[in-house]
């Protein structure tokens, strides 16, 4: 696992957008896995700016969803499908046909989960999966004590996660109790995992995921198992890392040819 400490969220967004752009230059039809929430917005803004400046051609890129609320009607503004289309697909100049995600409104949710896992495999797998981290250490919506081998499935949200997400709705009562999420095992299938965390509120979770033991209690610690995992954190989110100075020194001495 590589840990990169950046000055602020904008620098983290630019760094990850550069990695995505490099990937698209090597593989124009790369499948990019995206996360939702406020943390990854600087990434999407920086990548869209590169597309507008013709620094990279994203016209063949494919976008896939990490998770989705269960029960929100199609087109609901806070469904993650709507959010990803609005914040990623449209700014990159892509059509809805470039997007794939689980069907949170399906009558048979279990079948929809299996279908999405199968669709990701049939698409050739995710080339780069962007992740956030919850204050309780979750990735995707794999809440604490999720199986480290889990596949795409339905999960019940903790009250903490529902409270964290209530800012996007008209109050806590509007936040769904259930979601479809890529499982930890599904996430680990991606060729490159990039976790972005910003702000002091994420500092404890980052420290446990990076420096703590591998544990289902901290789902993000599963990144320790991945052969190509990158954790990008701003100074605030890095504030609890015991090895912060080592991580800074390692990144400063990193050969340019290695990339992100």
Q: Select which of 68, 103, 127, 143 is catalytic.
A: 143
pLDDT classification of 164: cutoffs 50, 70, 90: confident
Q: How many CB atoms lie within 10 A of CB 56?
A: 20
Q: Which of 11-15, 58-62, 101-105, 182-186 has the lowest mean pLDDT?
A: 101-105
pLDDT classification of 225: cutoffs 50, 70, 90: very high
Q: Select which of 67, 117, 164, 234 is catalytic.
A: 67
Query: Could you confirm whether 87 is annotated as catalytic?
Result: no
Q: Name the token pair of 96.
A: 């809805």
Q: Select which of 14, 18, 138, 192 is catalytic.
A: 138
* Conformation bin of residue 208: beta by default, left when phi > 0, alpha when psi is -120 to 50: alpha
13 sits in which H/E element: helix 9-26
pLDDT at 215 over 90: yes
- Tell me what pLDDT residue 89 has: 97
Is residue 144 classed exposed, middle or buried when 0-12, 13-18 and 19+ CB atoms within 10 A define those classes? middle
Q: What is the mean pLDDT of residues 212-220?
A: 97
Share of the chain above pLDDT 90, in %: 92
Q: Select which of 18, 127, 136, 234 is catalytic.
A: 136
pLDDT classification of 258: cutoffs 50, 70, 90: confident
pLDDT classification of 189: cutoffs 50, 70, 90: very high
- Tell me what pLDDT residue 32 has: 98
C-alpha distances out from residue 210 to 9, 166, 222, Å: 19, 27, 9
Q: What is the mean pLDDT of residues 200-206?
A: 97
pLDDT classification of 65: cutoffs 50, 70, 90: very high
Q: Which long-range contacts (CB under 8 A, 24 or more apart) does 241-244 make?
A: 241/3, 241/5, 241/206, 241/207, 241/210, 241/211, 242/207, 242/211, 243/3, 243/211, 244/5
154 sits in which H/E element: strand 153-156
Query: Could you confirm whether 67 is annotated as catalytic?
Result: yes
Query: Could you confirm whether 192 is annotated as catalytic?
Result: no
pLDDT at 158 over 90: no
Query: Could you confirm whether 228 is annotated as catalytic?
Result: no
């Amino acid at each position: 696992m590589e840990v990169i400490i950046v000055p602020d969220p904008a620098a983290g967004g630019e760094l990850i957008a550069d990695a995505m752009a490099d990937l698209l230059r090597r593989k124009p039809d790369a499948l990019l896995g995206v996360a939702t929430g406020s943390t990854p917005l600087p990434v999407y803004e920086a990548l869209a700016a590169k597309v507008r400046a013709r620094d990279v051609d994203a016209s063949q890129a494919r976008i896939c969803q990490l998770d989705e609320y269960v029960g929100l009607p199609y087109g609901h503004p806070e469904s993650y499908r709507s959010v990803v289309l609005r914040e990623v697909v449209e700014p990159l100049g892509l059509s809805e046909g470039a997007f794939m995600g689980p069907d949170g409104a399906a009558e048979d949710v279990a079948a929809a989960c299996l279908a999405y896992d199968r669709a990701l495999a049939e698409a050739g797998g995710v080339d780069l999966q962007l992740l956030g981290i919850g204050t309780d250490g979750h990735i995707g919506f794999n809440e604490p004590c999720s199986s480290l081998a889990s596949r795409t499935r339905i999960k019940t949200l903790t009250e903490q996660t529902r409270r964290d997400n209530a800012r996007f709705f008209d109050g806590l009562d509007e936040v769904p109790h259930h979601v479809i999420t890529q499982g930890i095992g599904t996430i680990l299938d991606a060729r490159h995992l990039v976790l972005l965390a910003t702000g002091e509120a994420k500092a404890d979770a980052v420290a446990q995921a990076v420096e703590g033991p591998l544990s289902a209690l901290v789902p993000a610690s599963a990144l320790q198992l991945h052969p190509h995992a990158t954790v990008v954190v701003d100074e605030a989110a890095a504030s609890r890392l015991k090895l912060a100075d080592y991580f800074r020194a390692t990144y400063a001495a990193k050969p340019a040819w290695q990339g992100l």
